[in-house]
Amino acid sequence: MATTTYQTKASYRPDTPDTLARVATHLGQLIEGAREGQEIEALYFELSRLSGAELARRGLQRPCSLAELMSQPAGRSPTDRK
């Protein structure tokens, strides 16, 4: 088994009183990020089911159809035509 170590500028001592507070803060941020990701996923799913006319009523547009998107080479968007 290999052991990897690295040095940081911040000192980390598990016996300090604020360690638990830092861990709780990071966990809270992680959970909030996961919730935000779920909200984005739900909104994306909702918008993906709307027609072009329904999107236009919301002031949005779909730049291309799925078929157009899938026919493009990897890494290029149909709107990148030159």
Could you give phi then psi for residue 30, rounded to 5 degrees? -65, -45
Q: Is the predicted pLDDT of residue 66 greater than 60, yes or no?
A: yes
Contacts of 21 (CB under 8 A, 6+ apart): none
For the chain, the domains span: 19-76
What pLDDT is attached to residue 78? 55
pLDDT at 69: 72
Per-residue model confidence (pLDDT) at position 79: 61
Distances 59 to 47, 62, 78, 81 between C-alpha atoms, Å: 12, 11, 21, 24
pLDDT of residue 76: 61
